[in-house]
Structure 1
Amino acid sequence: MRPTVQDVARHAGVSLASVDRVLNQRPGVRDKTIAKVEAAIAMLGYVKDISAANLAKGIAYRFAFVIPEGSNSFMRGLEREIEAVKQYSAVDRTEISIYKVPPFDGVALAAALDALDPKRYSGVAVVATEAVAVRDALNRLRRNNVPVVTLISDIPAFQADAYVGIDNVAAGRTAARLMGKFVGGRSGKVALVAGSMLVRDHVERRLGFEQVIRSDYGHMHCLPVIEAQDDSRRVQEYLSECFEAHSDIVGVYNMGAGNRGLIEVLSGNVQEGRTAIAHELTDHTRRALGAGILDAIIHQDAGHEVRSALRILRAKIEKKALVAGQEMIRIEIYVNENL
């Protein structure tokens, strides 16, 4: 059984009231008593149950998730994972709110963050767009002692309590390695599609991808990035125009969303040997992978990311250590054979 405060009091030879004062860092306790209690805690391996203490005090955690709205399938999957966690959050007196803002809109995101009352919220998780206004809004929360984690996409100019997501440079490098292996020795161009270069995850994926292509696959050339705002119709339109302008495209890498537009274009522009790699396993990318329209999918576990964000926020509030490696979001690779 886990040691209790009663065990600590008995082992230290002090009253329960003294143990409570030490645990909660209240004044009026002699140094000798503090030393006895701390020694007993170390000897017994006692860990304070913050959730139980909060329950007894009527304290509730309130967390806000600020995410993009729209048709992005991965973001809608992320929203479903947040809703799933909300169903069980009342058990440990946790309230979770979801706020949705237009994607890639720094002004709207900053306004949503500024609207969060720091006296109400215990922590914030945000899918961030790089903008000065967003950084300033996040800094305001931090100045008011509200822990913040960036989710999926980081803002290096803002010192968040944690970033929860895959290593996007490594993801881009992984996509390039797969592209090089699939394309082989054939020379040609690679079409790059992104949502926006205003989000760090897409910038880093492009960086990693082009690093590997330039260093190891000099027979391939990356075209300028098509920024399609993660909109399927724009992806379809812009990529179709790209195919018309370049007859020697041997590969396509979509580092953002809008995969339905990508699949539509590839379905109507069948070319032997053309490789297509995209991000996030969804219903439509799964079908396209099975049909051979896409060759590989790079994926991240949205449920893991939501749960990790909450664990990190709670740990920051409770000043508890996290389990090493538990919060690492791994890059997953899917091909037709391991669906």
Structure 2
Amino acid sequence: MKATVSDIARNCGLSTATVDRVLNNRPGASAANRQRVMEAAKQLGYLPVADQVTLPSRPANLEFFLPIGSNDFMHDLAKHIEDYASRLPLVASCRIHNLAGISPNALQTAVEKLSLRANGVGVIAVDHPRTRNILRDMVEAGIRLVTLVSDIPAAPRSAYVGIDNRVAGRTAALLMGRFLGGREGQLAMVVGSRSYRGHEEREMGFRSVLGEEFPNLTVSSAVEINDEPDASYAATMKALRNEPELLGIYCVGAGRSGIAKAIRETRPNRKPVFICHDLTRETRGYLVDDLADVVIDQNARLIAEQSVIQLLGSIASSAPYLTRKFIEPRLIFRENVPVQ
């Protein structure tokens, strides 16, 4: 038989009114009493659990702020969030805000439309002092926060959902070095935006492994394109002209289509090894057509599901932070492209 509010009150020595306030996330209970109530509720099996994360006792209102733009991965992520949330009884509502850019100003403008009913927010944003201040104000207003894809450790988020981006960059460098088999020469790097901590970490990891294990490979150009395909196309064309024997190209963020277009048009005698991130309809085609050699995928569906679960878990938990657990990236080659 399921435990009741009265059972929880007896277990932790508090009134049923206090227990009710805590379970329904209403003000009027101290931090210490919230801790006592949630511990008792967990012990008595009152709260539901998903993937070892305790969930809230009442449906929650969730909102996500994503810089979707023309980015296929962001489109897929938003679609998976909406689909998964719609199938969970403990999600009362789920709203996706499409940010008009990656600047803190774009986030501030969008946050002003945040519903007063919101219990939890998921966000992809740049790591900037103004961004951290916006997120801090949100959490101080009683909203739980989860960062997705690119972390902001100094923000008071309850969890980060995504891959270890530094490890992803190191993996890209290891693959690049192994593909090139000891050849000596130049590489090009196309960086989405170093304002994203995740992109900065990937670049750091990539350069670190090159220095440690492949000193025969040198990054001759590293262009920041702010995830604009036209900019990545121009940067790749320039790199291919300047280095006719360019050995490899690493795309740190978006802008993959510009690189693929440049490779198609120039048709170099020996195609450079092309490594990028995120399995989308577009990158599936690059693998099949032998334009891309490997895609390091962070799994949009899994990030979407975990972001919803982690938000629900943070709403149920009295602890400020949940246990950190990275999503494992997938290495996708032409021969193991999964069914869409």
> TM-score category by the smaller chain?
0.7 to 0.9
Query: Does 1:260 pair with 2:257?
Result: yes
Residues 25 and 199 of structure 1, relative CA distance in 2, 3 Å threshold: closer
Secondary structure of the corresponding residue to residue 249 of structure 1: coil
User: Separation in 2 of the partners of 1:174 and 1:149?
Assistant: 26
- Aligned residue type for 2:66: I
Q: CA deviation at 1:294?
A: 0.9
**Higher RCO structure (Cα 8 Å, ≥6 apart):** 2
User: Separation in 1 of the partners of 2:97 and 2:144?
Assistant: 17
Structure 1 portions without partners, runs of 5+: 28-34, 55-59
* Cα-to-partner distance string for 1:242-296 (whole Å, 9 max, x where unaligned): 2112233100000111211111112223332621101111112112112211111
User: Separation in 1 of the partners of 2:44 and 2:67?
Assistant: 42
Structure 2 counterpart of 1:95: 93
Structure 2 counterpart of 1:71: 70
Q: CA deviation at 1:83?
A: 2.2
Query: Does 1:301 pair with 2:299?
Result: yes
Q: CA deviation at 1:103?
A: 3.1
Secondary structure of the corresponding residue to residue 158 of structure 1: coil
CA contact (8 A) 2:170 2:202 kept: yes
Residues 47 and 226 of structure 1, relative CA distance in 2, 3 Å threshold: same
Structure 2 counterpart of 1:270: 268
CA contact (8 A) 1:113 1:138 kept: no
Secondary structure of the corresponding residue to residue 87 of structure 2: helix
User: Separation in 2 of the partners of 1:46 and 1:104?
Assistant: 44
Structure 1 counterpart of 2:313: 315
Residues 238 and 39 of structure 1, relative CA distance in 2, 3 Å threshold: closer
User: Separation in 2 of the partners of 1:4 and 1:160?
Assistant: 32
Q: CA deviation at 1:230?
A: 1.3
Structure 1 counterpart of 2:61: 62
Please report the TM-score for the alignment, with normalisation by the length of structure 2. Answer: 0.82
Higher helix fraction: Structure 1 or Structure 2? Answer: 1
* Cα-to-partner distance string for 1:142-183 (whole Å, 9 max, x where unaligned): 111211111111123323211111000000000000000001
Please report the TM-score for the alignment, with normalisation by the length of structure 1. Answer: 0.82
Query: Where does 1:1-339 land on structure 2 (aligned, <5 Å)?
Result: 3-5=1-3, 20=16, 24=20, 46-49=44-47, 53-54=57-58, 60-89=59-88, 91-117=89-115, 119-268=116-265, 269-272=267-270, 274-319=272-317, 328-339=326-337
CA contact (8 A) 2:263 2:271 kept: no
Secondary structure of the corresponding residue to residue 5 of structure 1: coil
Paired positions, count = 315
CA contact (8 A) 1:104 1:229 kept: no
Q: CA RMSD in A?
A: 3.2
Residues 263 and 312 of structure 1, relative CA distance in 2, 3 Å threshold: same
State, as a whole percentage, how many aligned pairs show the same letter.
28
Secondary structure of the corresponding residue to residue 101 of structure 2: coil
User: Separation in 2 of the partners of 1:154 and 1:277?
Assistant: 22
CA contact (8 A) 1:300 1:331 kept: yes
Point out the structure with max Rg over C-alpha: 1
Q: CA deviation at 1:5?
A: 2.4
Q: CA deviation at 1:41?
A: 8.0
Structure 2 portions without partners, runs of 5+: 23-27, 29-35, 49-54
CA contact (8 A) 2:182 2:216 kept: yes
